[in-house]
Structures are given as structure tokens and as C-alpha cells.
Amino acid sequence: MGDINVYTGPMKCGKSNKIIAEAKRQMIAGKKIMIFKPGIDTRFAKDYIVDRNGNKLKSENITNIEEIQNYDADVYVIDEFQFLKGNVDCIEKMAEKGKKFYIAGLNLTSERKPFGQMGDLLCVSDNVQTMTSICEVCKRDNAIFSFYKLDDKDGDIRIGDAEYIPVCRECYNELKSREKE
Ligand SMILES: [Zn+2]
């Protein structure tokens, strides 16, 4: 049996860093590894997954989750999972056939709704690590939401992350109430 391991939380919580570290660990162990990210994500680099510490690994661009089935590997690493289309069935089936998964993604949109297929993924995962960021308003280490700073409601398909800040529950509510004024 394989397994499905997911790192989730708001932006800037270190999710990509976790999967890159895990990918390197598996490579050193001699596992055949494939790394994917949504083609839509060109934030830092086109054909690499990149973390905020400058670590990067070569990746394939995909649009649908099902596309990973076209690649043979022992270990599948996926970044920015929330932007992928399709559904998680193939991941479950592949895990049942012995494949291992390390996946990072935002759990919530800036409107605090489940982001893409992340909700479904979390429900079928063996291990979920929900991480926090430093709240950019009060500076406590308890940010669980990504707040969209501009008043534009198609927020969940935006990629550039300069417009988003990680915030705690208290500061999120405070910012939202100011928006309504
Ligand atoms: Zn706060």
C-alpha cells in the first residue's frame, strides 16, 4: 500500500518547503519521483516548483489531476494542488497500488471556502499536516486564512500572491468588517 500525505494551510506557511524536502529525501533513497504543478502557476518559475527559501526542483505542468497517470514513478509530488481540475479518485487508486504522494495546497480561498479539489483530497489522505503562518496584522503565529487585500471577488483564481496576506481568525474578521464599511 502507498499513502497520501498532504501539507495544507494559508499562504506562506511553508507547504512547498515541506514537499521539496520530502522529494529530496525520497530521491536520496533511490525512489523514482515525479513532480507536478498546475500550468497556471508561474509565480516564481515556469518548470520548477520553488519554495520561499529558494529551493527548487524540476516539475511537469499539468491541468487535470488525471494527467499524473501518464507518468510512471514510485513517488508523486504535487504543488499548488488547489489549482488542478478533475477529481481525486485516481490518486486513491494509485495509492492503493503502492504509490506514495506528497501534496501541498491551500485549503481555503480568500472567502474561506474549500479551494478546488483540496477538500476532497483532505478527506481521503492518510496524513494531513495543517500548518499556520505568521499573521501579517498582529504578528502572532496563528494565521489560518489567506486574506485578499483588494476588493475583488474572483479572488480564488488569482495566482500572484502579492495581493494576499496570511491572517489569523481575529484579524480576518476585523479586516472583513472594515471592508463592509
Ligand atoms: Zn492576527
Q: What is the pLDDT of residue 122?
A: 98
Does 143 reside within a domain?
Answer: no
Q: What pLDDT, on a 0 to 100 scale, did the predictor assign at position 80?
A: 94
Measuring CA to CA, which residue among 132, 130, 145, 166 is closest to residue 5? 130
Residue 160's alpha-carbon distances to 19, 40, 97, 133, in angstroms, are 21, 11, 36, 18
Distance 140 CA to ligand 1 centre (A): 6
Span 159-172, average pLDDT: 85
In a domain, 169, yes or no: no
Average pLDDT over residues 69-77: 97
- Residues near ion ligand 1 (CB < 5 Å) are 135, 137-138, 168, 171
pLDDT interval class at 153 (50, 70, 90): low
Domain contains 176? no
- pLDDT value, residue 57: 87
Per-residue pLDDT, 88: 98
DSSP assignment of the chain equals --EEEEEEESTTSSHHHHHHHHHHHHHHTT--EEEEEETT--SS-SSEEE-TTS-EEE-EEESBGGGGGGS--SEEEESSGGG-BS-THHHHHHHHTT-EEEEEEESB-TTSSB-TTHHHHHHT-SEEEE--B--TTT--S-B-EEEE-SS-TTGGG---STTEEEE-HHHHHHHHHHHH-
Q: Which of 22, 60, 80, 136 is catalytic?
A: 80
CA distance linking residue 165 with residue 143, whole number of Å: 9
Q: Within 13 Å and on the Cβ side, how many CA atoms surround 92? A: 9
Averaged pLDDT score across all residues of the chain: 90
- Residue 82 maps to a domain: yes
Q: Ligand 1 centre from 177 Cα, in Å?
A: 14
| pLDDT at res. 48 | 82
Quote the percentage of the chain above a pLDDT of 90.
Answer: 77
Cα(97) to centroid(ligand 1), Å: 43
pLDDT at 159 over 80: no
Q: How many domains does the chain have?
A: 1
Domain that holds residue 122: 3-132
Examine residue 108 and state whether it is found in any structural domain, yes or no.
yes
Mean pLDDT on 160-174: 88
On whether residue 148 sits in a domain, the answer given is: no
Of 151 and 30, more confident: 30
Judged against a pLDDT cut of 90, whether residue 173 lies above it is answered with yes
The grid cell for 85 is 481540475
Cα(151) to ligand 1 centroid in Å equals: 20
All residues at 6 or more sequence positions from 53 whose CB lies less than 8 Å from its CB, including other chains: 17
Q: Is 181 a catalytic residue?
A: no
What pTM, to 2 d.p., does this model score? 0.89
**79 within some domain:** yes
pLDDT of 37-69, one tens digit each? 998 766 656 688 888 888 888 999 999 999 999
**101/164: higher pLDDT:** 101
With respect to residue 48, please indicate whether it lies within any of the assigned structural domains: yes
CATH number, domain with residue 62: 3.40.50.300
